[in-house]
Structure 1
Amino acid sequence: MTTPLFLLRCVQIGLSLSDLDLLTIGMVNEMFIEKDNDDYDYPIKATQENFDAF
């Protein structure tokens, strides 16, 4: 990952430069991945019965 791509991802998830003092590159990557997962419509969702059976 290049520096411009990293900074673009930070802007896309709303991080400021002061926020980057508290976060690692890995944390920013995970936040970006989770942001993409928030928009995904899962076709099958687990119910309580599924968790009980697990």
Structure 2
Amino acid sequence: MTTPLFLLRCVQLGLSMGDLDFLTIGLVNDMFTERENDEYKYHMLADQSDFDKF
């Protein structure tokens, strides 16, 4: 990942330069990935019984 791409992702997430003092590059990437997955419609979602079996 290039620096401009990283900074673009930070802007898309609404992060400020001050926020970056507390976040790692990996955490910003994870936040961006989760944001992109927010609109995905899962066919099956786990419920409490699935977690109990796990």
> TM-score normalised to the size of structure 2?
0.83
**Displacement, 1:52?**
3.8
Give the aligned partner of residue 43 of structure 2. 43
Q: CA RMSD in A?
A: 1.2
Q: Which has the larger displacement, 36-45 or 21-30?
A: 36-45
**Displacement, 1:51?**
3.3
CA distance in 2, matches of 1:24, 1:52: 33
> TM-score normalised to the size of structure 1?
0.83
Where do 5+ consecutive residues of structure 1 fail to align? Answer: none
In the alignment of these two chains, the number of paired residues is 54
